[in-house]
Every structure is written in structure tokens, then in C-alpha cells.
Chain A
Amino acid sequence: MRAQPVLYSLAVLFALAVPLLGIYPVFMMQLLCFAMFACAYNLLLGFGRMLSFGHAAFFGFAAYATGWLVSAHGWGPGFAILAGVAAAALLGLVIGALAIRRQGIYFAMITLALAQLVYFVCLEAPFTGGENGLQGIPRGTLFWLLPLHSDVVMYYVVLATFVAVFALIRRVVHSPFGQVLKAIRDNEPRAISLGYEINRYKLLAFVLSATLAGLAGSLKALVFGFVTLADVQQSTSGDVVLMTLLGGTGTFFGPVLGAGIVVTLQQYLSDVVGGWVTAIIGATFVACVLAFRRGIVGELTLLASRARRTLRPARG
């Protein structure tokens, strides 16, 4: 895997140069927020094999919390993000504790239903602005230092956060905790018989994933300056599943690539095909499940390792 550091360096260089290349920074920020969301989701699905169908709840709830604290209470962006993340963590603890009581498909149905509950709360609660959502959220100044109203400054803040989250997830997966999580994913009864309290591991993974999804949501609220019901909606939960699946579940870079593809498609495809976007997203789902379950990065890695195996005897 010597190609990996090179690829990562290239990606980081590209990301750093984005404002100079004339790429619209708000679009890149949107992409990074969803990439962060997908990476957080992948921690749960890819390394814990827990299929949550309700992750928009954490993303959207944190976005609402941050947006509300900034616009209605004049909080600074830093503390508002922290509060949003804390709200997502708490919500993750409650939903996670309920959902891990069942496994597999039940887990998916429970997370879906509880996320719908969060959606209705956001629809009817007094502080969310109902159908209109929260509009005109000011970005403010981060910890009295960085004026975020400049898109370039905001971009680098989002980029730095994304890199930190990406590194954190790598660290977590390679930690003893991550190893146990993978062991549970691969063979749950065996992990139980080895004496691991699997529910604690699952819950921790769930809360961690929810927390990071919340961070992505809070940042997105500040980037765009608005939060709407679309952020907590079921379709957003579906989008993040697709991003992860398309890019490659259980790979580190897959969700980033998947988020890039899906966000770009939604942004530009809707100009070309209009309302067919939903149907196309659905068809992509079907194609992923039937044809390449490992996702783009997963399939490429497999191809690369096969090529290496066939090349090696030739060299020797």
C-alpha cells in the first residue's frame, strides 16, 4: 500500500489549493460536510455492521441546535457547534441504547422509526421554525479570532475539521476498541464468548458516529446560514447510506468519494434531468447492491491486490 500516502498528500494539496483554483468554496464546504457525515456513518456501518437508517436525525438535530443558539441567543459559532455536537451525542446515546436492543434489520427499522420521531419533533417544536426552518443564521467570529463570514476562512475551518475527523476515525478503527468492534462485526457470538460486553462497544460506536454526524450538521448550518426540515428528513438518511455504499463501506476513503459523487450529482444533475434525481439515486442504490457491493474504493482495492498477486510470480 505504498500508493496510499502519495494519494493522501495529493488530496490534501488539492484541498488546500481549492480557493486558488477558482472552485466555488461553498460547494466544496458542502461536499466536505457531507463527506464528514458519510465518514461518521461509515464508522457504524463499515466497521460495526450496524445499518442505521436514521442518521439524518443527528445531522439535522445538531444543525438545528447550532442554528438556534446562534440566531436566537447570539452564541458564538464555536460554542454553538460544541453545543450542537453535544446535543447529537445525547440523542445518539438515547437512540443507540434503544436500537442496539435488536440486531440487523430490526436495528435498521428502529433507527428509521426513531429518526422519524425526531423529524416530527423538529416539525412541531417551537424553536425550529416549522416548515420554514431557521433562516439567516450568522456565521460570526470563531472564538473571537476568525471572522467566518469570509468564505475562504470558513472553508479552511471546515477543511481542518474534516481532516481532524478523518484522522480521528482512522485512529479509532486502528485502536483496540476498533479491533473489538470489527471482531463483533465479523462474528458476534464469538466476541460474546470471548467475554466482550458487545453492547457497550456497539453503543460507544453509535454515540461516536452520531456525535461526528452532528459535527457535520452543525458546520453545515453555519456554512449555508440556514437549517430546514430536509436536514432531518428520511431522504437525507438514505443519501448518507448511498454515499457510504457507493464509495465503499469499511474503507477509509470510500465515503469521501461517495459523498463527492452524490453531492455533485445532486447539484448538477438536477439541472439536466430535473425531478428524475430521486429515481436515479434509487437506481444507483440498486446497481450498488447488485453489481458492486464493495463500493468503488473497495472494488478498486480488490482489483489492485489481485493485479499485484498475478504480477509477483512473474517478477520472481
Chain B
Amino acid sequence: MSDVFGIPVAVILGQLMLGLVNGSFYALLSLGLAVIFGLMGVVNFAHGAFYTLGAFAALLGLQLLGINYWVALVAAPLAVGLVGIVVERLLLRRLYRLDPLYGLLLTFGLALIAEGSLHQVFGATGESYPVPAALAGGVNLGFMFLPLYRAWVIAASVVVCFSTWFVIERTRLGATLRAATENASLLQAFGVNVPLLMSVTYGGGVALAALAGVLAAPVVLVNSHMGSSLVIVVFAVVVIGGMGSILGAIVSGLALGIIEGFTKVIYPEASNIVVFVIMALVLILRPAGLFGRE
């Protein structure tokens, strides 16, 4: 086995793989955050909670109703998306005319309610979700062992991310969405149902978070606080990428996952903080973010 700087190549590739998996979650989550923020001006602090809800929906669906992974992959984001639409209609809608800080505080409270309740009902330890049979095991590529499920997570989230990008940048619906971002009241004057558009956007954004949660369920322990620390990293990713751009959110999410993976090989003690350090550097060198416009 060949080494690079005394580290076996297989280890480096393995960590790269893990990094990419984490990066996929960052990308999916920061994409949803960017879409919600772009249209509604709301920083969705509850994003991590919706990710957790997605994972729990899949787990409970399996345990109580016998819903398998592939159905959960569609059903859980739909269910969580509906919850999101209800939240938008009942609560967030009241805050659009106010300082965006209130949206942040409200969603922070919602996240606490969701996480606190899940913690109380299901305990702190967490449960594991079985890897679906079709994706169990892995392939030996000769130079490294490729776990099938992890490869699937990366492929699925890349496809979802770029489909979302395509919808927003290249379709009629996306054009309407972008128009609402620029000037919602003018668009409404043209006869577009902007309040409905906002509900759908929020629902769609949190459905992406829930999808990430279902994808994550078999590789992490499903517990009440799985989303709360993740969302902080995702915020840092969003600051680094700049919230203005969809593509920026995707690219910086994946890239930071990889950087984090490499840090685990080179200097494991710093792997928890490397994203925050990069954020600090970006703030010094390019305050608007790498892809941001100010």
C-alpha cells in the first residue's frame, strides 16, 4: 500500500469519502437555507430540527408502520414539508413586516420545542436505522473499499442539489421564485400568488432538510440533538459561501465537507473547528462570502 506523507492512501480516500458524505448534508441543508432566506428573508434556525424530524419520521415509520427506506425517502420529506407549510402559515407569516431578527428568534424557539420534545419522548441515547438491504456492504475498488450506502448518499444529494439548482435557475417556476426574491409586491401586482409561493418555498426548503435527515439516518445515530450542532456548521457554511447564490451553497457545502475530512487525517484535534476557522478567514479576506454579492 502506498503512502502520502506517511499516511496510507486508503485512509486518505476513506476520510475523503466521509468528508464528502458530511459535505452532502451541508450542501442539502445550506441549499434549503439559502432558498428560504433568498425569498423570505428568514434565517431558518429550525433547519436542524427539521433535519432531525426527517430522520425521526423515517425511523418511526419503519418501527410503527413498517414503511421501508425507499418509501420514507419520499414520504418523510413530504410530511415534514407539510409541517413546514403549517409553521409558515400560522407563525412565520406574522413576522414578514418586522426585522428579520424576529424570524431567527422564532425559529430558534421552534427548534427548542422540537428538540426538547423529541429528547423527552425518545430519550438521549438515540437509535440506529438499518442500512437498506440493496445498499448494504461495499465494493473493493482495489485501492480502497467503497461502502455502497455512502456512495449512494453522495450521489443522491448531488443529484437533488443540482435538480434544485436547475428548477430555480432554468424553469418558469424558478423564474417566478427569483422574481419574488427581487420584488415580491410587484410580482403580486402581476397576479402571482406570492403568499402561496412563500408557503411552498418554506415547505420545499425544510423538505430538503428532512431528506438530508432520512439520508443521514443509516449513517448516524438518530437522536434529538443530531441537528442542533449540525445547523451551526451549516450557518458557517452559509456565511462562507454567501447566501446570494444557490450554486455557492452547494459548492461550499461539498468543499467544506472534504476539507473537514482531510483535517481528520492530518490534525484530528482541529476537525471540529476547521470550518469555523475558515469562516473567520473568509470574513477577514472577503466579508461578503466567496460567492456572495453585497
Contacts and interface: CB of A to CB of B under 8 A. Distances in A.
Interface of A: 49, 51, 53, 98, 101-102, 104-106, 108-110, 112-114, 116-117, 120-121, 123-124, 234, 238, 241, 245, 274-286, 288-290, 293
B43 A105 contact: yes
- Give the most central of A274, A275, A276, A282: most B CB within 10 Å: A282
Contact of A282 (B94, B102, B110): B110
B30 to A, nearest CB: 11
A101 B106 contact: no
B89 to A, nearest CB: 13
A101 B287 contact: yes
Contacts of A290: 91, 94-95, 106
Contact of A105 (B100, B111, B279): B100
B187 interface: no
Interface stretch (B71-79, B116-124, B159-167): B116-124
- Give the most central of B104, B106, B109, B115: most A CB within 10 Å: B109
Given A105-B43, A234-B228, A110 B283 contact: yes
B109 A283 contact: yes
Contacts, number: 127
A113 B237 CA distance: 10
B112 A289 contact: no
B283 A108 contact: no
Contacts of A114: 276, 279-280
- Please provide the 9 A-B residue pairs with the shortest distance between their CB atoms, ordered closest to farther: A285-B109, A282-B112, A278-B116, A279-B116, A282-B113, A117-B276, A113-B236, A286-B109, A109-B235
A116 B108 CA distance: 16
17 contacts: A105-B43, A105-B100, A110-B283, A113-B236, A114-B279, A116-B229, A116-B236, A241-B108, A275-B116, A278-B112, A279-B112, A282-B108, A282-B110, A282-B112, A285-B112, A286-B109, A288-B109
Contacts of A53: 108
Contact of B238 (A109, A116, A121, A124): A109
Contacts of A234: 228, 232
Contact of B287 (A102, A108, A121, A281): A102
A51 B45 CA distance: 14
Given A101-B283, A113-B236, A120-B273, A51 B104 contact: yes
Nearest to B46: A282
B120 A279 contact: yes
Contacts of A117: 273, 276-277, 280
B256 to A, nearest CB: 12
B217 interface: no
A49 B108 CA distance: 18
Interface in B198-256: 228-229, 232-233, 235-236, 238-239
A262 to B, nearest CB: 13
Interface string B82-114: 000000000100110011111011101111111
B273 A109 contact: no
Contacts of A289: 95, 102, 105-106, 109
Nearest to B109: A285
Chain B contact residues, majority secondary structure: helix
Contact of B269 (A51, A105, A124, A281): A124
A282 B87 CA distance: 14
Interface of B: 37, 43, 91, 94-95, 98-102, 104-106, 108-117, 119-120, 228-229, 232-233, 235-236, 238-239, 269, 272-273, 275-277, 279-280, 283-284, 287
A245 B105 CA distance: 10
Contacts of A121: 273
Contact of B111 (A101, A113, A282): A282
B112 A106 contact: no
A95 to B, nearest CB: 9
Given A108-B101, A278-B119, 19 more contacts: A98-B283, A101-B284, A102-B239, A105-B43, A109-B238, A113-B239, A114-B276, A116-B276, A120-B273, A123-B272, A275-B116, A276-B116, A278-B112, A278-B115, A279-B113, A282-B110, A282-B111, A282-B115, A290-B106
A51 B108 CA distance: 13
A284 B109 contact: yes
Contacts of A98: 280, 283-284
A110 B113 contact: no
Contacts of B102: 289, 293
B108 A277 contact: no
A290 B99 CA distance: 13
Given A116-B276, A289-B106, A274 B120 contact: yes
Contacts of A245: 105
Contacts of B91: 286, 290
B272 A120 contact: yes
Given A101-B287, A114-B276, A283 B120 contact: no
A22 to B, nearest CB: 34
Given A105-B43, A289-B106, A283 B280 contact: no
B42 to A, nearest CB: 9
A138 B167 CA distance: 62
B119 to A, nearest CB: 6
